[in-house]
Structure 1
Amino acid sequence: MFSPTSCRISLAQPEEDLPTLLQTLNDFKKQSRQPTETAYHAILRCACDYTIRRGKGVGRAGIHDAESDGLGWHLAVAALRDAEKGGVDIGEEGLAQLLRLSTVYPHILPSILVELSAKSLPPTANMYNFIAREAIASENLEQVILVVHEMFEREMTPNPALVKHVVRMLCEWGYPRLALQIAEKVESGSRDGQRVDTAVWVQILITSADNQFLSGVVTAWDRAVQSKIYTPDEGLLFSVLNVAARWGRPDLATKALDVLPDLLIRPQETHLVPLLEAYVTAGQVPEAVKVISSIRAAGMIPTALAAEPIVFALSSADLIDQAFYALQDMRESGQSIDVVALNAVIEASVRLGDLQRVRATQGAAVELGVTPNIDTFNIVLSGCVKAEHRALGDTVFAEMNEHSISPDMTTYRRMIMLCLTQSTYEDAFYYLEKMKADDIKPPHTVYQALLRKCITAEDKRWMAVREEMESLGYKMQQDISRRIAYPETSGDSLARNDSWAERAERSLREI
């Protein structure tokens, strides 16, 4: 420590370097002269400047290279202790200089805070804000989080500008949950009723929607959008709708849809399907069924793809009954029922393997005021294929003619598959020829199924099927090619043939 003889010194200007400062201090010590508060400020500033200059290449792991000995840090701590021994209060400016070190070496901030607490020199809110700004400038996320946490621990509220930058940084790094916690903590802990800026909530909303973070979306939506301060664009609305669909929040989806008129956008199926999915996820399947009809009521044509969530949700007979009762309630209340909604209930019954329920639901179309379309009959045919019920399939095909509905590629494909489930499958070739006569190109799956069946039954027509198949540019699957190239010659050929046949039949049902 220097002797009591003090002297004001003017040193450590920005352009001076550390060696010059150390030499000056050594000269003062020989003269028994003690640095004043201003001198300590200069010492700390010079030490920090030296550290910052020499620490440009410092990574987050810690000190290395030119500053590996931590000279700037040791000098700053020595100055702090010397000032304390001499009874010199370095004040807020001195503390600010000391804390600048943590912007280069984040891992020493806890040590600095402990050191200051031990000296009864707690950092002020301004100092914390300064450290945080420096950390943000260097994109040091860990440092930012630590500083904000320390401020909350000391019941300090970060200033609005700092909150805005911290949230922006967290959102850019994909941490919407932490950004939300900080924003809520600022508002709940503010003694003067400080409110987080709308731009902050918008950032939280966007990042939360991108990361499917429900709490962030709900809270930020209420703060930014529901208050009519901010109007999201269509892209953000789609993100919010996807969140609502995933987490089963039809109320959130409805709020998002309510914004479309403000954007002069007419609702499309892509907007309404997430609402349907939200109802399904929430277990409100009857409401989801009603959404299908509302899509057509809005002037759009719903697709079977839009109804897929309903089909997969109706996984039991009870749920299918609930959906059907919802259709009946709609009919009784005077609401129109879309055929896509009816088809969804029929397809769910097919998936359940309940062919009787399939036919009963199809037969209720007239009662519900619904006109079956080509998809209705094709779905019922898929149930016939699954149940291998050839007679019913023929009846359904005949009903299509009665309703003046022309078969399409799916119809013929399923009729061919249905025929191939029987031991007598001559009609499969009949429907193949009829399909071609209607200028419908048979798909690859039809030829594969015919080829498998013929080879399994040792039907020589497989050669004609293969020839026609190849003329259309289709290739055989590898197992069929191997079967043709290497026919069985051993005594266990029958067992292998049966195994292959079973596999072929399973393949038919999957098509």
Structure 2
Amino acid sequence: MKRRGTQPDLDTYNFLLRSMAGNTRSVDAWAIFEDMKIYGVKPDVKTFNALIEAHQHRNSAYLWPIIRAMEEMGVEPNAATYGLIISYFASAKNIENALRYLYVMKSKGIEPELRTLQLVVEIAADSGNARLALDLVNAFESDSVRRLESDVWVNCLTASASCLWANASDFTQKDGVVQCWEYIVQELNLSPGEGICMGVLHTAARHGLPDIATDVLRVLNLTGVPLQERHFAPLIEAFCRAGQVKEAFMTIDIVQETTPPLPSTLLPILEHVKKNTDTFDSTWALMDEIHEERPLQVSSLNIIIGAAVALGDLQRAVGAYKSFPDYNVKADRDTFHLLLEGAVAACHQPLGARILQDMKEAGIALESRTYELMIELAIAQDSYEEAFEYLEEMKGAGFKPPATTYKSLVKKCASNGDPRYTIALEEMEEMGFETDPEFLRKAKDVFSKESTGMMFIEEAENTTVAR
């Protein structure tokens, strides 16, 4: 065209720029733009839109000159311009500038395209700004007849669940997980995947929202996900935080039907029951109420025993244990271990011996934890010979005593001037445990002082006899 003396017009330049933009050839696009200025062709908004698009893969150092050129030439951006700028910053994870231009756009009365707003919401959600993302969604849908795609709401739900944001702080309006979940499930009639559902469950557990947690289980069941303990555990916590203890116990019964619940699953109820004796007594009354409706599970009664032990009330713990036959429930290994923990805390050796005997009569095999507790109980007594007997029995049963057990024996022997502390140390090293030099030094110092004291006592006794 130039060789023939034909002057390119604006449409020609814009067409060339569009070609460069489609192939992201930013250097060539900028050269065409400079050529326009040389030939005195004034660019329009389409020119700058193509120029910005051609620089989408470059850093912001190339974008700002284009924006300044628009301002200097008096070309007003349109919705597409702002969309390209916002898309540029969103792709670079620059949420601040993306929001800045979204605000500028709206302040000029230009409505953003759906994909532009959705991109900003997505980047806000992905960066952990759940509240910002949902505020953008709510503001847009309150002012527009248009509705955002379902993926946007799913992103907001995921972001809200990841930061455990459940609702408005004053509960005056639905927000966070509550709003997103209800909109997605009830309005859009969608069923989120198990990963998102788990996030919602944990949020419901943290804030005591059993209704939301129950609805999540309903959705999981509808989508064919087999309900397991990991799904019921947050529901139990949600019930406890909402003060619905009976429902929490009944949920445990559901879990118990397939597998013995883990201690972490039972912990929320235990924390509730062990608050004080009044809470304990009111919960104990629930056992009778539940028993009238359905058979009690051993896990439920174990919680009662564990709470009594935590309260330091051994009498209540033993009383709960003795009531097992009334509920047609057989004690399990956890039952006996909880009672042994109570006996250890109270240094009640006769009770420990009785519980151990009951455990054997019930046909429950002793485990490593059983021996650890019995050794700990024996060490707490003035005469601790049984500790060594249980240690040998433990090793004979094929269990490896933990380092804590050996350390307790070393401390007990050393503090009593008993030279067997060296035997315990040697055996500890043979088992592969590293001996802390500071612990070893203290043990030797204590033994030296105690053995010297014992020697003085023996000399005094011998002198008295001689006289």
Which category describes the TM-score, using the shorter chain as reference length? 0.7 to 0.9
Partner of 1:369: 328
Partner of 2:208: 248
Q: CA deviation at 1:382?
A: 0.5
Q: CA deviation at 1:294?
A: 1.6
Q: CA deviation at 1:275?
A: 0.8
Contact 2:333 2:364 in 1 (8 A): yes
Partner of 1:332: 292
Q: CA deviation at 1:385?
A: 0.7
Q: CA deviation at 1:309?
A: 2.3
Q: 2:263 matched to 1:304?
A: yes
Partner of 1:387: 346
Matches of residues 157-306 of structure 1 in structure 2 within 5 Å? 157-190=111-144, 193-214=145-166, 215-227=175-187, 229-297=189-257, 299-306=258-265
Partner of 1:460: 419
Partner of 2:463: none
Distance 1:475 1:133 in 2: 58
Q: CA deviation at 1:328?
A: 1.7
Contact 2:417 2:448 in 1 (8 A): no
Distance 2:79 2:179 in 1: 28
Q: Deviations over 1:89-117 (max 9, x none)?
A: xxxxx413xxxxxxxxxxxxxxxxxxxxx
Q: Structure 2-normalised TM-score?
A: 0.78
Q: CA deviation at 1:257?
A: 0.8
Please list every run of at least 4 consecutive aligned residues from structure 1 whose deviation after the TM superposition is greater than 6 angstroms. 50-53, 487-494
Partner of 2:440: 481
Contact 1:289 1:323 in 2 (8 A): no
SS across alignment from 2:76: helix
Contact 2:229 2:261 in 1 (8 A): yes
Q: Which moved more, 1:345-354 or 1:485-494?
A: 485-494
Partner of 1:420: 379
SS across alignment from 1:264: coil
Partner of 2:407: 448
Q: CA deviation at 1:490?
A: 8.0
Amino acid at match of 1:273: A
SS across alignment from 2:243: coil
Q: CA deviation at 1:376?
A: 0.6
Amino acid at match of 2:76: L
Q: Deviations over 1:330-351 (max 9, x none)?
A: 0122x12111121122112211
Partner of 2:76: 95
Amino acid at match of 1:95: E
Change (3 A) 1:77 1:430: closer
Change (3 A) 1:337 1:184: same
Q: CA deviation at 1:151?
A: 4.8
Distance 2:422 2:72 in 1: 95
Partner of 1:345: 304
Distance 1:137 1:464 in 2: 67
Change (3 A) 1:156 1:481: same
Distance 1:232 1:157 in 2: 30
Change (3 A) 1:139 1:429: closer
Matches of residues 126-165 of structure 1 in structure 2 within 5 Å? 128-129=82-83, 131-136=85-90, 139-153=93-107, 157-165=111-119
Distance 1:44 1:401 in 2: 87
Q: CA deviation at 1:415?
A: 1.5
Partner of 1:120: none
SS across alignment from 1:95: coil
SS across alignment from 1:229: coil
SS across alignment from 1:226: helix
Q: CA deviation at 1:130?
A: 5.3
The structure with more radius of gyration: 1
Q: Deviations over 1:453-482 (max 9, x none)?
A: 111111233233334333333343434421
Partner of 2:279: 319
Change (3 A) 1:390 1:155: farther
Contact 1:286 1:322 in 2 (8 A): no
Q: Structure 1-normalised TM-score?
A: 0.72
Q: What are structure 2's unaligned runs of at least 5 residues?
A: 1-6, 18-28, 167-174, 454-467
SS across alignment from 1:385: helix
Change (3 A) 1:23 1:429: closer
Q: What are structure 1's unaligned runs of at least 5 residues?
A: 1-7, 26-38, 81-93, 97-123, 495-511
Q: CA deviation at 1:203?
A: 1.7
Q: CA deviation at 1:19?
A: 6.3
Contact 1:303 1:340 in 2 (8 A): no
Change (3 A) 1:248 1:493: farther
Distance 2:420 2:186 in 1: 69
Partner of 1:407: 366
Percent of aligned pairs with the same amino acid: 29
SS across alignment from 2:376: helix
Q: Deviations over 1:386-441 (max 9, x none)?
A: 11112222222232234333332222221121111111112222322333444444
Q: CA deviation at 1:489?
A: 6.8
Contact 1:454 1:461 in 2 (8 A): yes
Change (3 A) 1:438 1:489: closer
Distance 2:92 2:253 in 1: 55
Distance 2:440 2:452 in 1: 17
